[in-house]
């Protein structure tokens, strides 16, 4: 039912057909044209309607199944199950989330310098001690209240932060613009009490802090970034949508 959705294909576009279909399907779901519970037409009918082969149509649907937005049942059909799905890597990008929520935010760069990695840091970045790394300390405010203390380290060989506009945009956005694609990230989320420096910077009296440690890898498996952040737990929490396959 509800095949009022209109999908247009551009065969001269470099964007793969299955991706064009997937994008327009996802948009339809996010915008509510297809609501949770709605059944979409079967693969063969859809493929015919769009002038595509069944494998291509399947591939389009599969990407949305992997995102957790559609569910297929053999002998039954394909159904919409979920509208809003959160992007994966970064768990949640603090910068983007706050921007999306319309919160006024501000970032203060406390330190940005090149230095040689000590043993512990080299281990995190999988370098040999002594190699040069960027060290970046930032303090992020929301509505003029300090929210998070962000400490990051990146190998100089792979990233250039010299001209990064880190006060006005996120670190990950800078990496994306530099053509660096983060593929895998290992994260560890915990909690701790604030130490003296953190209490001072974050103006958090006895508020427990949420900690996040992350190592991010690019396509080649090289470490791009190691960060350890602390957040005021009264102002922030991590949200994520997980999909099991």
Partner DNA sequence: GTCAATGCTTTGTCAGGACATATTGACGTA
Partner DNA sequence: TACGTCAATATGTCCTGACAAAGCATTGAC
Q: What are phi and psi of 42, to 5 degrees?
A: -70, 160
DSSP labels for 120-189? HHHHHHT--TT-EEEEEEEEEEETTEEEEEEEEEEETTT---TT--TTTS-HHHHHHHTT--EEEEEEEE
The residue among 21 and 171 lying less far from DNA, judged by its C-beta, is 21
The residue among 114 and 176 lying less far from its own copies, judged by its C-beta, is 176
Q: What are phi and psi of 226, to 5 degrees?
A: -125, 130
Here's the x/- map for DNA, 21-40, by CB under 7 A: it reads as: -------------------x
User: Is residue 18 a contact residue for DNA (CB under 7 A)?
Assistant: yes
Question: How far, in Å, CA of 7 to CA of 84, rounded?
Answer: 21
The residue among 36 and 51 lying less far from DNA, judged by its C-beta, is 51
- Of 82, 106, 124, 199, the one binding its own copies (CB under 8 A) is 82
The residue among 115 and 219 lying less far from DNA, judged by its C-beta, is 219
Task: Please give the DSSP secondary-structure letter assigned to residue 2.
Answer: -
Residues with Cβ within 8 Å of residue 5, at least 6 apart in sequence: 24, 25, 28, 33, 34
Residue 42 contact among DNA, its own copies, none, beta carbon within 5 to 8 Å by kind: DNA
Residue 14 contact among DNA, its own copies, none, beta carbon within 5 to 8 Å by kind: DNA
Phi-psi region of 6 (alpha: psi -120 to 50; beta: other; left: phi over 0): beta
Residues near DNA, by CB under 7 A: 14, 16-19, 40, 42-45, 51-56, 58-59, 72-78
Binding positions for its own copies, rule: CB under 8 A: 36-37, 66, 68, 71, 73, 79, 81-82, 88-91, 181-193, 206, 208-211, 217, 219-221, 233, 236-245
């Amino acid at each position: 039912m509800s095949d009022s959705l209109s999908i247009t294909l551009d065969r001269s576009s470099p964007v793969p057909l299955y991706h064009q279909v997937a994008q327009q399907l996802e948009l339809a779901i996010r915008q509510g044209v297809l609501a949770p519970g709605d059944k979409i037409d079967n693969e063969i009918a859809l493929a015919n309607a769009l002038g595509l082969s069944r494998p291509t149509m399947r591939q389009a649907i599969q990407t949305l199944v992997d995102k957790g937005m559609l569910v297929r049942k053999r002998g039954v059909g394909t159904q919409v199950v979920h509208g809003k799905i959160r992007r994966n890597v970064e768990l949640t990008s603090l910068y983007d989330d706050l921007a999306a929520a319309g919160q006024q935010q501000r970032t203060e760069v406390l330190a940005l310098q090149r230095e040689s990695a000590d043993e512990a840091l080299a281990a995190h970045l999988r370098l040999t001690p002594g190699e040069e790394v960027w060290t970046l300390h930032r303090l992020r405010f929301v509505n003029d209240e300090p929210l998070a203390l962000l400490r990051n380290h990146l190998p100089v060989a792979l990233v250039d932060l010299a001209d990064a506009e880190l006060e006005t945009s996120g670190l990950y956005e800078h990496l994306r613009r530099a053509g660096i694609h983060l593929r895998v990230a290992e994260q560890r989320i915990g909690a701790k009490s604030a130490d003296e420096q953190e209490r001072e910077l974050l103006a958090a009296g006895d508020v427990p802090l949420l900690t996040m440690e992350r190592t991010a890898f690019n396509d080649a498996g090289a470490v791009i970034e190691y960060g350890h952040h602390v957040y005021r737990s009264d102002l922030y929490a991590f949200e994520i949508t997980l999909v099991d396959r």
